């Protein structure tokens, strides 16, 4: 027994000796940290380019930072940051062992990294010296530097440096910039409620953004105030008064001139991927997919249909479905007035624009376009009661319709019966595979667009592009590549494609959606001489209206509605707004303008197929338009016996593989 204890003691001593040698050798290579002037370190401006090489935005750090001495930073703000970020800041020596143990314990219980143990001093070290690389060695160096820094510097200087360098979101570095950007005043003029809100941003500026997520920001402010009261920085009465304080933000100070919603969308994507410091101070060269000519066409199309300030708003997204590259994006009427991006962030009910996902699922399961369904109003018992379905404006009160005709005229009762036949679970899975990222509860109401959280125009344009591309799903992106100012590659999206629906199914669905534009509810989107496919969508009480469709190599989604989502659009320019009215007209106006322009010279990026898939010449060769005869009943190549034949020019990739055998 004694031999075992002795051996264990020797092992422990050797481990301690090894750790001591490791730490000593690392300490010899540590840089000297001098906080004097550290907040004024020069940052390199990042430049954003459109697809044609024109500059559309510049992102910077130093020009948007004003360094202020600690005495000009109000005490409540200092106390709020300390309370929520490092409550033992004034007692530890640079590293808080208790916080590390607590974070380790809570992360183990949660199963994810939900808590951090870094002190304010460690965060200063991270900002100034370690570039934030995620390695164990970095954490050890960070701890040693934190001890070194606190041995040489007083707490006030550490806190002053931190408050002048930390990121508060939306391009704001330091408390002075944050105070001016969010509240239009100097940091010295902030009240307790404003101080608490800013302090709450430090942990995650994107998640707690008062601009993008005001309700979450207010909730986070309450957490900070509670922590300040618990630690004795404020009284209960002060906490209550600050919780009840009005939430008023100043208008944004900087607005990009070109495609502001697109630029902000790309910026937030890169912040999530690379970090705010790299984006605003790293001298990036961001090459985007934005086509200025198509962006201008999109903005012109929106203005042409909704010119008045009291009109509903419109979101439009155009995606090249062959590459996934976003060519144009309109996220609202006034970026300066409201930065919430209706195109990428606005989750709205899609109405009948969701029916193509039911259609694709049904075609995959063997339902034929010529199959007939009862079109009369439908009632069926479902899990939470009886589901009663009526057709738009009480049309088709009796009789039967083919699936093709029901798609043309968006007959709710047919699609209700169809989803009960194929199953809501399969429809939800199909929609997810095709590109709908928003949560979908598998209940029958999704057949008519009854989703719990809604969908965004961006994901609708992308998902319809899966049909247009022959069944290939490609993740949408606004970025071609990102380099530093020396030309070294920093980030490049991996444009991979996956065939998620059979080509035969995508061809059948495309032909049926083409009929919607030619003969159904989407005729306002028809463009003479151009092959167009799409679907309309209108929600209950005319609160949301959609047209989503594709032509040439663009898949485009148009949504029309009011931002609060509760306003009925029954008298807009003298008409009720349905998917077949203003959205379809806007879509057509954009597409006509887009087709007049050659695509901007985007750096070619070919999506890659899965490694186990053989790609033939037919998959990679440029597509051409060919004249074909289609049976209007079966949507296959027509024969002499077909009663009604439609001649049309089709993309060669969409020519049906089969010949009609029904007639």
Give the active site residues.
85, 352
Strands (E), 377-468: 378-382, 385-389, 400-402
Tell me the C-alpha distance between 263 and 98, whole Å.
Answer: 42
Tell me the C-alpha distance between 152 and 161, whole Å.
Answer: 14
What residues form DSSP beta bridges with 537? 546
- Residue pair 319/326 in contact by the 8 Å Cβ criterion: yes
Q: Order across the sheet with 55-59: list the strands.
A: 55-59, 46-49, 285-288, 479-483, 489-491
Residue 253 makes CB contacts below 8 A (sequence gap 6+) with 180, 181
Which secondary-structure segment (H or E) carries 469? none
What is the DSSP code string of 350-390?
Answer: -GGGGHHHHHHHHHHTT--TT-EEE-S-EEEEETTEEEEE-
Residue 478: burial class (beta carbons within 10 Å; 0-12, 13-18, 19+): buried
The two beta strands, 55-59 and 378-382, are unpaired
C-alpha dihedral sign at 343, 344, 349, 350: positive
What residues form DSSP beta bridges with 387? 380
* Token pair in block for residue 569: 């659009």
- Residue pair 341/262 in contact by the 8 Å Cβ criterion: no
Closest CA to 462 of 473, 451, 470, 446: 473
* Token pair in block for residue 310: 């009291």
Tell me the C-alpha distance between 266 and 286, whole Å.
Answer: 9
Tell me the C-alpha distance between 647 and 649, whole Å.
Answer: 7
* Token pair in block for residue 555: 């898949």
Residue 333: count of CB within 10 angstroms of its CB: 19
- The residue to which tokens 């900087």 are assigned: 254
Residue 198 makes CB contacts below 8 A (sequence gap 6+) with 77, 80, 168, 175, 178, 179, 182, 190
Task: Give SS3 for 490.
Answer: strand
- Residue pair 164/174 in contact by the 8 Å Cβ criterion: yes
* Token pair in block for residue 13: 């001593």
Tell me the C-alpha distance between 509 and 363, whole Å.
Answer: 8
- The residue to which tokens 């190549």 are assigned: 637
C-alpha dihedral sign at 445, 446, 449, 450: positive
The two beta strands, 385-389 and 378-382, are antiparallel
What residues form DSSP beta bridges with 648? 628
Produce one character per residue of 555-578: b if its CB has 16 or more CB atoms within 10 Å, e if not: bbbbbbbeeeeeeebeebeeeebb
Closest CA to 536 of 554, 555, 517, 518: 517
End-to-end CA distance of the chain: 93
Tell me the C-alpha distance between 485 and 71, whole Å.
Answer: 37
């Amino acid at each position: 027994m004694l031999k075992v204890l002795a051996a264990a003691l020797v092992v422990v001593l050797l481990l301690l000796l090894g750790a001591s040698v490791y730490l000593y050798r690392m300490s010899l290579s540590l840089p000297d940290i001098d906080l004097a002037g550290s907040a004024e370190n020069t940052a390199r401006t990042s430049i954003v380019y459109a697809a044609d090489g024109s500059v559309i935005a510049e992102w910077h750090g130093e020009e948007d930072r004003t360094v202020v001495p600690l005495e000009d930073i109000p005490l409540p703000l200092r106390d709020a940051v300390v309370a929520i970020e490092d409550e033992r800041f004034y007692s530890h020596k640079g590293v808080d062992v208790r916080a590390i143990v607590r974070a380790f314990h809570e992360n183990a219980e949660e199963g994810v990294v939900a808590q951090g143990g870094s002190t304010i001093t460690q965060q200063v070290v991270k900002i100034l010296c370690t570039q934030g690389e995620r390695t164990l060695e970095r954490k050890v160096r960070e701890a040693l530097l934190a001890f070194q820094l606190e041995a040489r510097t007083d707490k006030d200087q550490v806190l002053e440096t931190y408050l002048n360098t930390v990121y508060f979101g939306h391009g704001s570095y330091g408390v002075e910039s944050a105070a001016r950007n969010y509240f239009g005043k100097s940091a010295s003029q902030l009240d307790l409620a404003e101080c608490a809100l800013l302090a709450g941003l430090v942990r995650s500026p994107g998640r707690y953004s008062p601009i993008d997520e005001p309700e979450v920001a207010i909730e986070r402010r309450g957490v900070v105030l509670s922590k300040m009261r618990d630690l004795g920085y404020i009284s209960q009465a002060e906490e209550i008064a600050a919780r009840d304080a009005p939430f008023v933000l100043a208008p944004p100070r900087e607005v990009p001139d070109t495609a502001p919603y697109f630029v902000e969308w790309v910026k937030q994507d890169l912040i999530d991927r690379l970090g705010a410091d790299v984006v605003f101070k790293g001298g990036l060269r961001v090459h985007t997919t934005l086509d200025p000519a198509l962006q201008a066409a999109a903005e012109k199309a929106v203005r042409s249909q909704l010119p008045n300030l009291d009109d509903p708003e419109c979101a439009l997204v155009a995606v090249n479905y062959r590459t996934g590259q976003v060519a144009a994006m309109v996220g609202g009427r006034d970026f300066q007035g409201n930065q919430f991006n209706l195109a990428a962030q606005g989750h709205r009910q899609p109405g009948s624009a969701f029916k193509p996902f039911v259609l694709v699922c049904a075609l995959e399961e063997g339902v034929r376009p010529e199959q007939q369904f009862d079109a009369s109003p439908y009632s069926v018992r479902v899990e939470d009661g009886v589901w009663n379905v009526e057709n738009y404006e009480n049309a088709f009160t009796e009789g039967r319709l083919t699936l093709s005709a029901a798609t043309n005229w968006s007959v709710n009762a047919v699609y209700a019966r169809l989803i009960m036949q194929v199953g809501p679970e399969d429809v939800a899975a199909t929609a997810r595979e095709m590109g709908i990222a928003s949560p979908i509860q598998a209940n029958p109401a999704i057949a008519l667009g009854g989703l719990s959280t809604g969908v965004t125009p961006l994901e609708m344009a992308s998902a319809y592009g899966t049909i247009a591309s022959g069944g290939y799903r490609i993740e949408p992106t606004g970025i071609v590549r990102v380099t530093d100012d020396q030309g070294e590659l920093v980030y490049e999206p991996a444009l991979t494609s996956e065939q998620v629906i059979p080509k035969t199914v995508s061809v059948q669905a495309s032909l049926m959606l083409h009929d919607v534009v030619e003969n159904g509810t989407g005729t306002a989107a028809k463009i003479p001489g151009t092959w167009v496919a799409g679907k309309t969508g209108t929600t209950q009480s005319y609160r949301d209206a959609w047209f989503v469709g594709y032509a040439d190599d663009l898949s485009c989604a148009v949504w029309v509605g009011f931002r609060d989502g509760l306003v009925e659009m029954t008298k807009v320019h003298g008409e009720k707004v349905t998917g077949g009215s203003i959205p379809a007209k806007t879509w057509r106006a954009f597409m006509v303008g887009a087709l007049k322009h050659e695509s901007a010279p985007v750096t070619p990026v070919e999506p890659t197929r899965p490694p186990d898939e053989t790609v033939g010449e037919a998959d990679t060769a440029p597509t051409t338009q060919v004249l074909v005869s289609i049976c209007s009943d079966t949507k296959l190549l027509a024969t002499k016996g077909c009663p009604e034949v439609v001649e049309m020019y089709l993309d060669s990739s969409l020519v049906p593989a089969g010949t009609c055998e029904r007639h």
